[in-house]
Structure 1
Amino acid sequence: MLLMARAKNEKSAAIGAAIREARTRRGKVMREVAAHLGIDTAAVGNWETGRNLPSTQNLLSVAEFLQVDAVALGKGRVIFNEEDASSSKLNEAEIVSDPAPFPAGPNDVQILGASVGGEEGDFTFNGQIIGYTRRPPGIAHLNNVFAVHVIGDSMEPRFEPGDMIYCSSRTAVSGDDIVIEMFPEEGETVGKAYIKRLVRRAGGELVCMQYNPPKEVTFNVYALKRVYRVIPLRELVGF
């Protein structure tokens, strides 16, 4: 049974990576795939991170939407339909950043639950551990690591709703993506949280940026409870 479970995890990771590669090379976002299938964006995110396998029907629909060979996609490979193989519509710039399936590490990284916040792109940690995910090889010996699913679209296209990111307590520097957790406001039990790009620390402010819509955002450092660094893909895979 253990071997079957491992094989399923490896298949999920391979198919998920293939779906992401096909999607990014087509210049699509997860929301468009989800809309075509009539499902939640988070479901597509779960496929791409290898947490779940798409049903046969959904796999066929994804292949049709992205114009790739369905049989190859089901084996974790991407073969574009012949009529589009040389199309300039393929987003070749994305290829270098597509993640390959992570080697199967221990399933010991906590996935923290998060709830949708207000209209400012914020969310809140709900204090629950909703599951565990594989530990990529690049953080095999790193302590104080957790994962969380992205909520909100303020960092698209860098992060999309449903994407799973790994975070650590390592001090962030300018240029790092970060998760900011604020102290609760008066009358609240939990504080707001945000995913942003750290620009600089200036006096009593943390200056950040977001992509959607593009703008600079500042936070009072005395209102910050914690700042977590989002671990970039190159570090997760050990580069």
Structure 2
Amino acid sequence: MDEIIHIESHPIMDETQLALKIGTALRTARKQRGLVMRDIAQAAGVSTGAVGNWERGANVMSMENLQAVASYLEIDPIALSKGDVKFLSETQPVSDAEIISDAGHIDTGPLDVEILGVAVGGDDGDFTLNGEVSGYARRPAGIAHLRKVFALHVLSDSMVPRYEPGELLYCGGRDAVSGDDVVIEMFPEQGETVGKAYIKRLVKRSKTEIVCKQYNPAKELVFDPYAIKNMWRVIPTRELLGY
């Protein structure tokens, strides 16, 4: 008989706090196993975006999904339902440094950051921006007073392991410099209504070219600066947390 899990209410932990804690535990266990979000999505029969939402604490996992994920990761489902990680098979112990307990603070601000709608791009485009707002994300403490900030979901796997499909990125702030990750939006090509968009690492920029790189597969890309409509910096997690 399958084990039935009951999540007990905690006197000081509301549903949002519990979702954040479970998400942190899920992310910790996944990375400890050397897996990507896509692996978890396939095991649970959901999209990578759903896994990304679980890990961010944006959505609460159903018991069916929690049990499927716990079984796949070989962790104690009851511990996971409480936001803890307990491995059921041999693995390296999880150190305090590996459990990113403060990551949940990213989602504790006001729900006022626009999430821009995206669509899968072509063979050479990571995605396209459709110009619509698909929802709102919580404003992290580190960008509490930063204006002109938006968020979007990663669709491509070209920046794995840096970013995985389903992850939510916050963009904006200061101008990008070499070493920053960037979102590049191109002007539409002839006959198109929207331009291609990319998430890459900025290598160098000049008046004649903008050089970027990606990780999967590893290669450099050169963009014509006059063909670029917008280039935004991806705000690192440490800044979102206020470090």
User: Same fold by TM (over 0.5)?
Assistant: yes
TM-score by length of 2: 0.88
Partner residue, 2:33: 26
Residue 100 (structure 1) aligned with residue 112 (structure 2): no
* Residue 127 (str. 1) matches residue 131 (str. 2): yes
Alignment partner, residue 85 of structure 2: 78
Q: Aligned to 2:104, what secondary structure does the other structure show?
A: coil
1:170 match: 174
Residue 11 of structure 1 corresponds to 18
Match of 1:200 in 2: 204
Task: Give the counterpart of 2:188 among 174, 184, 189.
Answer: 184
RMSD, aligned α-carbons: 2.0
- Counterpart amino acid of 2:117? G
Structure 1 spans left out of the alignment, 5+ residues: 1-5
How many aligned residue pairs are there? 229
Cα distance in 2 for partners of 1:75, 1:122 equals 36
1:37-56 equivalence runs, <5 A: 37-56=44-63
Is the aligned partner of 1:35 residue 2:42? yes
Offset of 1:78 from its aligned partner?
A: 1.5
Distance between the aligned counterparts of 1:203 and 1:99, measured in 2?
40
Cα distance, 1:95 vs. partner? 2.5
Residue 166 of structure 1 contacts residue 231 of structure 1 at CA under 8 Å; is this kept in 2? yes
Task: Check whether the contact 1:20–1:98 (CA below 8 A) recurs between aligned residues.
Answer: no
Q: Counterpart of 1:3?
A: none
Q: Which residue of 1 aligns with 2:148?
A: 144
2: CA distance, partners of 1:206 / 1:172: 11
Contact kept in structure 2, 1:10 and 1:104, CA below 8 Å: no
Alignment CA distance shift 1:99-1:16 (3 Å): same
1:160 aligns with 2:164: yes
Matched, 1:58 2:65: yes
**Residue identity in the other structure for 2:22:** I
Q: Which residue of structure 2 aligns with residue 118 of structure 1?
A: 122
Corresponding residue for residue 67 of structure 1: 74
TM-score, length of structure 1 as denominator length: 0.90
Deviation at 1:63, TM superposition (A): 1.0
Partner Cα separation in structure 2 for residue 162 and residue 177 of structure 1: 17
Query: Is 1:220 aligned to 2:224, yes or no?
Result: yes
Q: Give the AA of the match of 1:23.
A: R
Instruction: Name the CA shift for 1:98/1:232 in 2 (closer, same or farther; >3 Å).
Output: farther
| 2:8 alignment partner in structure 1 | none
Q: CA-to-partner distance for each residue in 1:171-191, whole Å, 9 max, x for gaps?
A: 011111000001111111111
Q: Secondary structure at the match of 2:19?
A: helix
1:97 CA displacement: 6.9
Q: CA 1:190/1:74 → structure 2, altered by over 3 Å: closer, same or farther?
A: same
CA distance 1:116–1:144, change in 2 (3 Å): same
Which range moves more in the overlay, 167-176 or 149-158? 167-176
- Aligned partners of 2:179 and 2:94: how far apart in 1? 24
C-alpha distance in structure 1 between counterparts of 2:147 and 2:94, whole Å:
36
Shift of 1:91: 8.8
Instruction: Give the superposition deviation at 1:122.
Output: 2.1
SS of the counterpart of 1:100?
Answer: helix
Change (3 A) 1:219 1:230: same
